[in-house]
Every structure is written in structure tokens, then in C-alpha cells.
Amino acid sequence: MLIQIAKVFSADEAATLRQRLEAADWVDGKVTAGHQSAAVKHNRQLSERHPLAQELGDLILQRLSGNNLFMSAALPRKIFPPLFNRYEGGEAFGYHVDNAVRGIAGTAERVRTDLSATLFFSEPDAYDGGELVIDDTYGPRTVKLPAGHMVLYPGTSLHKVNPVTRGARISSFFWMQSLVREDSQRALLLDMDVAIQRLNQDAQGHPSIVQLTGIYHNLLRRWADV
């Protein structure tokens, strides 16, 4: 399941955040790469403990907590603190699969990476290349979204970032441990949730709404990992 979440930040907000990120000190992106992915990872990142990374990471999580589509699609139990990366001058990240479990720096907390997210801060016409390519059931899917928009996809996916040949691609990336481990089950729950919301709009008070809501929660009860 690949979900695009529009306008986590407005274009103006994203531009302001991008300007602050552009002025920050960046380090080699290999600092957070696993053994396999380090061989194909060529980019830069903000340190996990950089004050700006922590400030903007908290802001992202605050926005997402109020985003109905994100909450319905991810059903988050734990969210890894958002990280920030930058690609330019031919930098790229070859095909890889994210580590299954990631520890949060400075804590004993671990997050199973059921879902991955990329939140774009650079406008698509500000750089050439830099597409996020995600292999799914239907083949490679190419993602390059407006600034302030985010894509959510299964952490099990093989994916890469194409070389950036002009300009700079700045984004945030992070992972979630969902209440529901299996992507197919999350997809079914999301479809049902969206259908219930539409039925509430089109036929408010219809008795089927209560029945369908009960089915949704009984499925969530069956599948939830708490």
C-alpha cells in the first residue's frame, strides 16, 4: 500500500523549513545506514541529535497526529524520530530494504519498521532526478511530490533514490511501528474506514454505519499488536 498524504505543510511553510535546513551542518548519510545499505548510500544527513532535527521532527509528529489519513493508514504505535537528508551533485541511494528494527539514539526504545515515510521539502522543479522509486506488487513506482507532501509505504519494500543531477533534494524520512503489522490488513482497514466516513457524509444516521463501525473495530481488535 502506497499512500500520498498532501499538505502536511503548506508550500510556504515547507519553504521556510527548507531555508532553515539549507543553513544547517550536514554529515555523511552513512551514519544511519545498515551494513548492506551503506554500500549504496551517498547523501548527507542532519545528526540525529542536532537541535534543528529534533525541533522539526517534533513539528512533523505534531502535524501528523492531527492528520486523519495518516492516522487511518498507519495506525501508528511507535514513530521513529524523523531524520533529514540532502542529495545533490549526483548523490543517490541505490536499491535497499530498510532495517527491520531501529533503535532510538540515547534510549532503550526500539521501533519495528512496518512503514516508511518520506516528506518532501524541495519543490520538484528545483532539482533534476531524486525520484523515490519503490518496487511493489505492480512493479517500480516513481514518487516525486510537491514540497510539504509525504508518501507512506511498506517498510518491506525494495526502494531507491535516483541521482540528483541538478539542485538539491531535501526531505525528512522516518519509520513507524503500526498497531497492525501486515500491510494487507492495514489496507483493508483503511478502505473500510474511508467507506464509513463517506457513508457518514452521504447518509448520516444510517443504521449500517453502526454495524460497519463495529466490524472495523472487531477486525482491528483481532489484528492489533499491542
pLDDT at 205: 83
pLDDT at 29: 78
Q: What is the pLDDT of residues 14-69, one digit of tens each?
A: 999 999 999 999 998 777 766 666 678 899 999 998 999 999 999 999 999 999 99
pLDDT at 34: 63
pLDDT at 105: 87
Is 169 within any annotated ligand binding site? Answer: yes
Is 217 within any annotated ligand binding site? Answer: no
Burial grade of 21 (CB within 10 A; 0-12, 13-18, 19 or more):
buried
pLDDT at 187: 96
- For residue 52, give the nearest of 95, 9, 16, 87 by alpha carbon: 16
Parts of the chain with a pLDDT under 50:
none
Decide if 76 contacts 65 (C-beta within 8 A): no
**Non-local CB neighbours of 132 within 8 Å, separated by 6+ positions:** 118, 142, 143, 144, 151, 159, 160, 161
Every domain of the chain and the residues it spans: 3-178, 183-223
Is 98 within any annotated ligand binding site? Answer: yes
Q: Which CATH architecture has domain 183-223?
A: Irregular (4.10)
Q: What gap in Å lies between CA 223 and CA 160, rounded to an integer? A: 30
pLDDT at 153: 97
Could you tell me the fold of the domain covering 3-178? Jelly Rolls (2.60.120)
pLDDT at 136: 85
pLDDT at 119: 98
